Amino acid sequence: MNELVTALSEIPATLDQYILTLENLNEHVFIDNKNGQNRSVKEIIGHMIDSASNNTHRIVHLQYRKSPLEFPNYAIEGGNDKWISIQNYQEEDLAILLPLWKFSHLHFLHVVQNVQKGKLKQEWISGTGENITLKEMILDFPRHFFLHIREIDELIEN
């Protein structure tokens, strides 16, 4: 479990740092600047919320359901863009969006800290013909998180 906690250890401080940065940005930076996937900062933050939420659900399901687990992969076939669009993150109030972003990730971290060690080899069928263990999924989360932090940085700088 220490390996998992260590892998995720930079996320809380990053959330605190970015909340301060994001709270002081001009509104147009949140909505007008777009990345290569045509996502604004608000939409990237929304996608990160969806990721934290979906991964939280996977962690819970992987601890009590039969392995390998069939659980939807919201990211395949453009599904994550559908989630962004349907939830209309572009129009979400920042007073709601930013705390939700922070606290959905903090809750995810809490859930990880409470994973049953004996369940880390449980597998999720990712929908790409690949089975991913609970441990692998958790260890990959920081990569995805910091990928989007870098995207946000680039959009802020532009």
Phi, psi of 155 (to 5 degrees): -70, -35
Residue 120 tokens read as: 């880390």
- The strand order across the sheet containing 69-70 reads 69-70, 123-125, 131-133
Residue 59 belongs to domain with CATH number? 1.20.120.450
Q: Convert the pLDDT of each residue in 33-71 to its tens digit.
A: 899 889 999 999 999 999 999 999 999 999 999 999 888
**Structural domain harbouring 38:** 2-157
Residue 155 tokens read as: 């959009």
Q: Are 51 and 105 in contact (CB under 8 A)?
A: no
Number of domains in the chain: 1
Q: Convert the pLDDT of each residue in 92-107 to its tens digit.
A: 999 999 999 999 999 9
